[in-house]
Structure 1
Amino acid sequence: MTNTNENKPFYHSLSGVTQQDDKLLEPIRYILQSPGKVMDEKLFQAFNYWIKILPDKMELIREIVILFYNACVIVDDIQDNSILRRSIPVAHSIYGIANSLSSANYAFFIAMERVIDLHPAAMKMYVEQALEFHKGQGMDIFWRDNFICPNESDYEIMATRKVRGILNLIVKLMKLFSTCEQDLSSLITTLSLFFQIRDDYGNLCSNNYTENKSYCEDLTEGKFSFPIIHALTTNPNDSQIRNILKQRTASIEVKRYCVELLEKFGSFKYTRNVLEKLEMKARDEIERLGGNPYLIKILDELKNLDYWN
């Protein structure tokens, strides 16, 4: 995919030198070789079913969001000390932490450069949604690093901020070039929570998920994911999961035992029930908005846990 106006890769700076950007953006180019399905063409097509903007504008917005999202991915993998992303080694394991951070930061500003050219009101929207995403990401890290188990309500605020920041960025930028007046905010909030909880669930109990990430990576990270929060909240006198999480173990055997505990405590069943309710709510919201075959298809595909990565 290229920007035809500048005849250079879309992830390059409009004001940059091609040969230099080739070097500076190697980690970005690397992670883009296996794009996450969250940024699949289908997602933009689904929102455009209602918003109806021209293909050239949608492509410009898609490039901005892809840049922002993949810069976040590189930083997220460093913060989580991840091993795999989309079935390949994480960028910093190939290019180093310093080079990968520099590339991600550069990409954030390249996205801003394109936002400025997009529309006078676009920059405010970009900053607002970037702040939302980083607030959610920041709280997730704060709880993990200070070993504080949030309650379910606080988790929901964090989770919706992380994913809603990306989805809102797409929708709000698209609406700048549309007469669409439909309020998609409730649907986006529901989808955001659904996507994040499903990701948490898949990380711990989906065989397909391990093709994209290492086995139960959230346990090695020490993350207070949705099933973990349920287990700790409903079994306050059991210290096993808490101790496993605190160790940030890489042991497959210990992580398998933790998964057995989560099953025993009913945390996976509870998570599945929450996901079913959120999916039904999302489908009801879609119907209320007049229907959307593209979003319905995405929800159907999400029944395969490896879809959202």
Structure 2
Amino acid sequence: MSSVYYEDSPVEEQLLLPYTHIRQIPSKEMRKRIQSSFNHWLRVPKDKFDEIVDITEMLHVCSLIADDIQDDTQCRRGIPSAHVVYGVPLAINSFTIVLMKILERCMRLHPKAALIYREQVLMMFRGQGEEVYWRDNFVCPKEEHYKRMLTKKTAGVFLFCYRALQLFSEEKIDYTDFVIKLGFYFQLRDDYCNICQQKGLEEMSQLTNENSRDFYDDLTEGKFTLPIIYATRTSKADTVLNILRQKTRDITLKKYFVSLLEECGGLQYTREIMKDLDSSLRDEIKKFGGNPALIAVMDEMLSWQNS
């Protein structure tokens, strides 16, 4: 078969517009800084390091586009989501092309990189799928199942970066459990900030505040998060579930819902877990010999304490 069929499309740039639409928008880059901090320990040559960080960013952007479609998120980082601007079909096609481009780059990078990519992408999408299944079928997961889902959803991208970097490192200490715990803490914090502190969000819109339509958009999506799962074990369970089921955009009802989560102890429970995770991660960083860049990001992530 002629190689012409395997070449980039004559309209390749147009096919990738949904992807470039999201990638070009600035964020706080906490994820990227965390991933970059791994190299304090691994000391991978700059060319390989830059390549892996760029591939990881490509994967992250693809996950954002998919997540926005699945959640029908209208706004990402202060602008309309990719599927809102370009439509769902082109957005799906765009991130699928990029996922395959990542696979090509992984195959050129290292014989084991493609295997790592396959494992971590499956982990990531299974985590997202579990969250969507619970939401769409209104099934409140057990806390341990929720924690595993959150780990799959976020730690998968962190693990890809770490595992790919270690292919080129002489440092063979196993940081896997640490990276998993870090990914869980990162996403738990992001979910908490979506409720209580919009300015702390990694993907924060500059327009977001407690009176805007995207305030606590996880509630509008009907998403089960840890404070809600905790609340279902209290006397407020019926009220909490009735409001969650509505997928409301009403600001007054959202604020009331947040007050319920505070009153029943769900938010305090989440804060206690985050405090323990922060302390545990810092202890492990110290055991690994320290990491100033990662500690700087950890310090910034403590902004949730100001809510």
TM-score above 0.5: yes
User: Is 1:103–2:97 an aligned residue pair?
Assistant: no
Residue of structure 1 aligned with 2:122, choices 131, 144, 169: 131
Kept after mapping to 1: 8 A contact 2:30/2:297: no
> How big is each residue's C-alpha offset from its partner over 1:23-71, in whole Å with a ceiling of 9 and x where there is no partner?
1101111101124445655223310000011111111111211111111
User: Is 1:294–2:288 an aligned residue pair?
Assistant: no
**TM-fit CA distance, 1:219:** 0.6
Give runs of aligned pairs for residues 1-309 of structure 1, distance below 5 A.
15-16=7-8, 20-38=11-29, 41-208=32-199, 209=201, 211=205, 214-235=214-235, 238-304=237-303
One-letter amino acid matched to 1:94: V
Q: Which runs of 5+ in 1 are unaligned?
A: 1-13
CA distance in structure 2 between the aligned counterparts of 1:172 and 1:207, rounded to whole angstroms: 32
Kept after mapping to 1: 8 A contact 2:52/2:164: yes
Residue 163 and residue 62 in structure 1: after superposition, are their counterparts in 2 closer, same or farther (change >3 A)?
Answer: same
> How big is each residue's C-alpha offset from its partner over 1:174-197, in whole Å with a ceiling of 9 and x where there is no partner?
111111111111211211111111
Structure 1 runs of 4+ aligned residues shifted over 3 Å read: 35-41, 209-213
CA distance in structure 2 between the aligned counterparts of 1:295 and 1:234, rounded to whole angstroms: 37
CA distance in structure 2 between the aligned counterparts of 1:260 and 1:169, rounded to whole angstroms: 38
Kept after mapping to 2: 8 A contact 1:112/1:123: yes
Give the SS at the match of 2:302. Answer: coil
Give the corresponding residue for 1:9: none
Q: Which runs of 5+ in 2 are unaligned?
A: 1-5, 209-213
**TM-fit CA distance, 1:211:** 3.3
CA distance in structure 2 between the aligned counterparts of 1:257 and 1:40, rounded to whole angstroms: 31
**TM-fit CA distance, 1:15:** 4.9
- Please, what TM-score do these two structures have when normalized by structure 1? 0.89
One-letter amino acid matched to 2:69: I
> How big is each residue's C-alpha offset from its partner over 1:208-234, in whole Å with a ceiling of 9 and x where there is no partner?
246366111011100001111111123
CA distance in structure 2 between the aligned counterparts of 1:238 and 1:160, rounded to whole angstroms: 25
Kept after mapping to 2: 8 A contact 1:200/1:227: no
Give the SS at the match of 1:239. Answer: helix
Give the SS at the match of 1:106. Answer: helix
**TM-fit CA distance, 1:162:** 1.1
**TM-fit CA distance, 1:207:** 3.7
Give the SS at the match of 1:304. Answer: helix
Moved more, 63-72 or 29-38: 29-38
Residue 223 and residue 100 in structure 1: after superposition, are their counterparts in 2 closer, same or farther (change >3 A)?
Answer: same
Percent identity of equivalent pairs:
38
Residue 40 and residue 262 in structure 1: after superposition, are their counterparts in 2 closer, same or farther (change >3 A)?
Answer: closer
> How big is each residue's C-alpha offset from its partner over 1:260-300, in whole Å with a ceiling of 9 and x where there is no partner?
11111111111111100000011011111111111101101
Give the SS at the match of 1:200. Answer: helix
**TM-fit CA distance, 1:301:** 1.2
Give the SS at the match of 2:184. Answer: helix
CA distance in structure 2 between the aligned counterparts of 1:195 and 1:22, rounded to whole angstroms: 33
One-letter amino acid matched to 2:71: D
